[in-house]
Structure 1
Amino acid sequence: MIICAVLATSALLISSSNAAINPALVGTWSSKSAKVMTGPGFYNPVNDSFIEPSLAGIAYSFTADGFYESAYYRAVSDPTSPNCPKALLQFQHGTFTENANGSLSLNPIAVDGRQQLSDPCKNSKNSQYSRYHQPELMMKYEAKIDDYKKINRLDLYQFDGTPIQPLYQAYNPPMMLPTVTMNPTDKANAAKKTGAKVKRGEGLAESLLEPLNKDAKHIKRHLSGTMDVNSPSGMANSVWWAGVGMTLLGGAAYLL
């Protein structure tokens, strides 16, 4: 009887800690500009690069089985140069839990988060590109029909109750990248401590961030120092060796 009571209490505690995911939360939600969306149009995991939207904004996606993705594109004001704001892009994805108290716990995959900071006035060609990992707690949320737009609206409130700008449903089912780890690395902190200067729109240098799947066929990039058979030097070597082979075969045929 005591064991049964303990098991029942444990089950009750587990069930009360997490609530079922509200179907009204499922979908891709974007801010008013509707230019920032989650999915392949914002972050390219193959090239490890951002696609910069035309306007600032944010987007969140939630699935019915507990996965999420976020995309942020913000203009960061510079007090020393008010007319020259910086551009900040952030991508994260992972799992989320809808807690019994109505809050949302967002737990991103640590090695997959990315951040790019651009300062066009000081350096128009290069940006600071680094790994980004920031768990989030939304104290509460409200999914409803917007009174003015008459479409589905999602209001998220940060851990301290500060509201995030209203989000409107753009897709259902949500538009997202794969929910698995896309950039596994040998060292999880490789890019967390050291930022990299890259050209705007380009990915992080391979010397700082080397995925374990770098040799996979779907990865189109190449490490510096390796031979690419499609490069001019690789093609030249291939043609040269083919010529040598044909010459040897021709000589052998003549002797016969």
Structure 2
Amino acid sequence: MLLGSLFALLVAGSLASAQDYTADHNTTSIVGTWSSGTQNVVPGPGFANPAQETFTYPKASGVGYSFSDNGWYELARFRYVGNSSHPECIVGTVVWAHGNYDLLDNGSIILTPIGDGYQQVQSPCNKDNTNFIQDYNVTEMYASWRIFTDVTFGPKLHLFQFDGSPVAPLFRLSDQPNMLPQQKLRNNQVQVVTTTSAGFVTTETIVSKRKEARHEVQRRGWGSLWPVW
């Protein structure tokens, strides 16, 4: 059902009239740096180091996007999920990805990563692996988006999911995109060279799926965070 809805949305994008960019709907360009909530999660070099597969953890959870004028985006997300039965078993996730974005004629927006994204997952009650790094390359699609001007905070970006439900609004931190270089920044492929008994050499390229994180996340202070999408 979900795939059918997404397919219908994509088809409609090629048939619908152009996106309305009048002041009533979008008071400013989407280009710039946006962040939700307390605006602590900001894309760019202060959040992720893809070459080292590390993160600098924000003070609070949230999500941030940067959009350039040449169709490039960067995602930064920090979230956690609580457990009412076991309050000590909070699962925290930090995500970074970047790639190309497309604004379809029907008003939807598609974010397509280039394949070097990653996330760190910490699950203190998981006995097998409490803290690990894994690839994160998920194409995101929002059915529509609008930018309004908040009288207190200025431009505010609203994204709506495929079923029309809104996600947490994003506030513009800057009209310039704060992001890492627009190229592949993480080597998440490994070459495995095998020599057979007959002397033949084969080379296989595989994608790194999951590895133990090199840096343990400090758990103190997590109780002060608030969840976002």
Using structure 2 for the length normalisation, give the TM-score.
0.71
The CA distance in 2 between the partners of 1:20 and 1:95, in whole Å, is: 21
Shift in CA distance, 104/69, structure 1 to aligned 2, threshold 3 Å: same
Deviation at 1:86?
1.6
Residue 96 of structure 2 is matched in structure 1 by 91
Residue 45 of structure 1 is matched in structure 2 by 50
Aligned counterpart in structure 2 of residue 196 of structure 1, from 211, 222, 228: 211
Deviation at 1:102?
0.4
Which is bigger in relative contact order (C-alpha 8 A, separation at least 6)? Answer: 2
Shift in CA distance, 87/146, structure 1 to aligned 2, threshold 3 Å: same
The CA distance in 2 between the partners of 1:105 and 1:17, in whole Å, is: 17
Larger Rg over CA atoms: 1
Instruction: Describe the SS at the equivalent of 1:162.
Output: coil
The CA distance in 1 between the partners of 2:17 and 2:66, in whole Å, is: 23
Shift in CA distance, 127/31, structure 1 to aligned 2, threshold 3 Å: same
Residue 109 of structure 2 is matched in structure 1 by 104
Structure 2 residue ranges without an equivalent (≥5): 1-12, 191-204, 218-229
Indicate conservation of the 8 Å contact 1:18/1:97, yes or no. no
Which one-letter code corresponds to 2:54 in the other structure? S
The CA distance in 2 between the partners of 1:108 and 1:19, in whole Å, is: 23
My pick for the range that moved more, 57-66 or 77-86, is: 77-86
Structure 1 residue ranges without an equivalent (≥5): 1-12, 203-256
Using structure 1 for the length normalisation, give the TM-score.
0.64
Indicate conservation of the 8 Å contact 1:49/1:201, yes or no. no
The CA distance in 1 between the partners of 2:163 and 2:206, in whole Å, is: 29
Deviation at 1:78?
2.5
Residue 176 of structure 2 is matched in structure 1 by 173
What's the CA shift string for 1:104-144, capped at 9, x where partnerless? 0110112x110111124668x95111111100101101111
What is the number of equivalent residue pairs in this alignment? 185
- Give the number of the structure whose residues are more often strand, by fraction: 2
- Give the number of the structure whose residues are more often helix, by fraction: 1
Shift in CA distance, 24/77, structure 1 to aligned 2, threshold 3 Å: same
| RMSD (CA atoms) | 2.9
Aligned counterpart in structure 1 of residue 185 of structure 2, from 182, 185, 210: 182
Deviation at 1:45?
2.3
